Structure 1
């Protein structure tokens, strides 16, 4: 019994080193996959996987917890000069810096926990309930680091934190608008509305 002609053609193409032509549905699948990869490339924040963000949120939670339990400057080792062993030296010597540092670590811890809870309950990555806690928690790490430095001015520390928070939020939101803005620039008012998710 003779082989069908289509099989003979494929065998000859394989022997000659020329590839067999792909069926049309496979070409369509490849084109769709290529389009999806291009969309992911330009999608920005939305292309993040919730599992990756969950790992980041967990790391921020661990870091802020560690910062809250190991304060810069250390602790008094013994009961002397009106202090008890285990009291924070930073709290007694630089009270405002202590409270700024603690506020930063609490904000980072609370927002990373909120982000973790939102991700575990299936909230979409592009939601404000994910983006805002990420920006606040991540920038709080910067504020806690700056506040732990004894020679900086507290007002400058807060202004730098606000700047970092704005840059993070703009980066998250601007990348989100990049795909839609490539097609039609639109007005400045529309851009600002999309930038802040309203």
Structure 2
């Protein structure tokens, strides 16, 4: 067996080893990994929304307004950033809410995540020039993970009755 084949075989086996296996991994361990990953994604997405890449303009010069995202001068790229970042935050918040459901302090987690989403939204609205983005698409991106999960639940319930 040549070195290329050994490397490929070894990487495939380590990839398989890192995958979830019901016989080896407990559901609690899987939940813990998911909550850590979702929390990290939420933290990064929140920070990116509150402090956009490139920062904000510091003064009102050359047609720019202080406090507005510098990145917003690249309208299409900034728009893609906002939609993707909002989708990442919203999806990770959904995972956090699901994984902490019926746990102690779930209500507090719910209040904290809802507050975080409101803070994120207000920060994005504050740093985004009004002419740069259509905010309704950002709101739609925020709702998509919740709507998809609801539709999946309705579909599964409907299928089980059939």
Give the shorter-chain TM-score range: 0.3 to 0.5
Larger relative CO (CA 8 A, sep 6+): 1 or 2? 2
Q: Which has the greater radius of gyration?
A: 1
Could you tell me the TM-score, scaled by structure 2's length? 0.45
